Structure 1
Amino acid sequence: MVVYGVAQPEHKDRFFAEFVNTYRNECLPSLIGGDFNITRSPQEKSNDRYDSRWLNLFNACIQTLNLRELEMQGRKFTWMSARENPTFEKLDRFLVSSEWEHEFPLALVQSLYSENSDHTPLLLQNGNASYRGKNQRFRIELEWLHRDGFQEMVAEVE
């Protein structure tokens, strides 16, 4: 499931209710990721201006749904405000069910670099190169062969 959380405080209650109601009856191994537009702790923000109500509610939702956050490697924050004295926050993350984590116990999240966005791109690696899924075919687009860095990336995987 891909998430884009609301930034406006007046809509956060509705967002959390919809998030819990959407996921509550899910019985499949689940991966939920995206920009939640909220931090989970004061340490996930570079200043002391935060509303503990929202981070407490977010953590309660995660606990109620029995989810766990995949640890991110590389950076502490995933977003930067466009101000002279910027604020840094961790707004983007991946949450997983225990069933998903059982299928991919070596999964990890790597933060990448981007100069074109105020958000840090995140790369999810499932940690299991041999996994292909049921009846899933390998596919490659010819265009990929000409992208910068493609050959190097393939060499790393080998």
Structure 2
Amino acid sequence: MTIMADSTNNQASGNKPTLKQGDTGEVVKELQLLLRNYYCYSGPIDGVLNSETVGGVILFQHRVFLPEDGLVEYKTWQALYRGGAVNLPIVERSSEGKLVKALQQRLHNSGYYTGLQDGYFGLVTEAAVKSFQLRNKLKVDGIVGDHTWFALSNTPIFDG
């Protein structure tokens, strides 16, 4: 089953309940189908939010730069319907923090970055972002905004 991102789906994501481990029902089946669509869940579509489904949620949250808490709240639903990262702040040279570190880790794990994963957006991070943008036919400006976040969240990760 392929779920296409469109404005109807984005609106529908706002009507979804917060889900946590132990929840059951049709909305959990919908969650499981969405996770399966993004290769984050391979278990049964049984409407039971068990530890295997929570693991899929956490994997998806990691992929789209969300807090990896296993709770399916508004931002997770939104990202599931869009098919990638949503509503992340712009980061650029001199930015710092956990999100920059996650950016550096993603760039490293996808082969673009070899510098320190220290959470500081310096020249090496900027060069890696520009390389990623060029290769993915994005505006090459070294600034990580919506389009770059979305592309990064859909980039294969080679953690090995």
TM normalised by structure 2 equals 0.27
Larger radius of gyration: 1
Greater helix fraction, Structure 1 or Structure 2: 2
